[in-house]
Amino acid sequence: MQAEHQDHLSVAFYVKIYVLLLILTGASVASSFLLRDVVSASVVVGLILVLSTVKALLIALFYMHLRYEKIPVRVWAYSAIVIFIILFILVLPDGIVNLKR
Amino acid sequence: MSQELKVELEGVSKEAIGGVIDQEELESVGAPPARVGFWVFIAGEVIILLSLIASSIYFRLTYPHWHETSTFTNVVISTINTFILLTGSLMAVLAHHFAFADAWKKARRFLLLTMLCGLAFVGMKTYEYSLEIHHGFYPNTDPFWMFYYTITGIHGLHVFAGACILFGVWLYVRKTKSKYAVENAALYWHFVDLVWLYIFPMFYLT
């Protein structure tokens, strides 16, 4: 983390992020029960995955300080996601074939 | 080899062995090697765990009983565990915050609290496993339980390792006051928390 960002990342800021994470977790659990009979299962799964991604971003950007990191660190952090996406796309045709069986 | 060159090389090797490289000095010119190295490690771990999660998604798509089997998992315990991990993340980031502010007493206290969160998670998870095994759900019961035990088991081991690392760092910084050790321990904790954020909905909520 760069030194100039040390000051404004206060304890209160971290607690606010924590409260937001708890609210999003509550929303995930509530939506899995309340929306189950209202909308299709794929919509519920999609919504919960979006909420999980928002939570993951909050942790990565603010708790892991990626937002304030220099380029070398960011490159390594994002490279894992890129490699994972490539791996996922490589095996995707196999999954689609299995689905159609 | 000339005597001067020999003396010079000995000096360099002593510096390297002694770890004289000042991480703070390197901070001014770029990211310190300790941090970059740790992110390389995390990147590797992310790929391993996400690949496991991706393969379970394929099984989920092809195995017709996945959803009905997943209703047997314990949402209450897993929600409490999510709360524990998120609380641990707050404790870890506060330990990091106070370490960089040179408030070492507070930093060490928050390190210890993060470690306790890790142990609480492992305790709850063990209890949850015992309930599931008691109800006859084993890793070889069906594909859902196979992935469930594999992924949550590997994650649980990471949490336990995180608790051990935090305890080690708690001891280490008592004398060394190494804020980079605290930072890396906190990063590791956030990583296990981040992975759980996807495991939790995958096996318990959807």
Tokens of B28: 């001014």
Q: Does the structure show a pLDDT above 60 at B21?
A: no
C-alpha span between A56 and B72 (Å, rounded): 26
Alpha helices in B19-103 (DSSP H): 23-29, 33-62, 66-70, 75-100
Burial of residue B194, with CB atoms counted within 10 A of its CB: 0-12 exposed, 13-18 middle, 19 or more buried? buried
Q: What angle do CA B79, B85, B91 make, to 5 degrees?
A: 140
Question: What is the model's pLDDT at position B14?
Answer: 47
C-alpha span between A3 and B78 (Å, rounded): 37
CA distance B44 to chain A (A): 7
Name the 3-class secondary structure at B139: coil
Sequence spans of domains, chain B:
34-205
Query: How many other C-beta atoms lie within 10 A of the C-beta of residue B36?
Result: 18
Nearest CA in chain B to A73: B36
ipTM: 0.86
Sequence spans of domains, chain A:
1-69, 70-101
State pLDDT tens for residues B140-176: 998 899 999 999 999 999 999 999 999 999 999 999 9
Q: Hey, are the CB atoms on A59 and B42 less than 8 Å from each other?
A: no
State pLDDT tens for residues B30-87: 667 788 888 889 988 988 888 888 888 878 877 888 888 888 999 999 999 999 999 9
C-alpha distances in Å from residue B144, one per residue of A47, A48, B30: 22, 19, 45
- The separation between CA B68 and the C-alpha centre of its own chain, rounded to angstroms, equals 31
State pLDDT tens for residues B92-116: 999 999 999 999 999 999 999 999 9
Tokens of B83: 């709360």
Nearest CA in chain A to B184: A64
B34-205, CATH topology level: Four Helix Bundle (Hemerythrin (Met), subunit A) (1.20.120)
CA distance B3 to chain A (A): 39
Question: What is the model's pLDDT at position A4?
Answer: 47
C-alpha span between B184 and B179 (Å, rounded): 9
Nearest CA in chain B to A84: B47
Q: Does residue B195 contact residue B151 with C-beta atoms inside 8 Å?
A: no
pLDDT band, residue B15 (cuts 50/70/90): very low
Q: Hey, are the CB atoms on B86 and A94 less than 8 Å from each other?
A: no
Q: Which residues of B49-84 are buried (b: 16+ CB within 10 A; e: fewer)?
A: bbebbbbbebbbeebeebeebbeebbbeebbebbbb
Contacts of B39 in chain A (CB under 8 A): 73, 76-77
In chain A (101 residues long), the average pLDDT of successive 10-residue segments reads 61 96 96 88 88 94 90 83 79 70 62
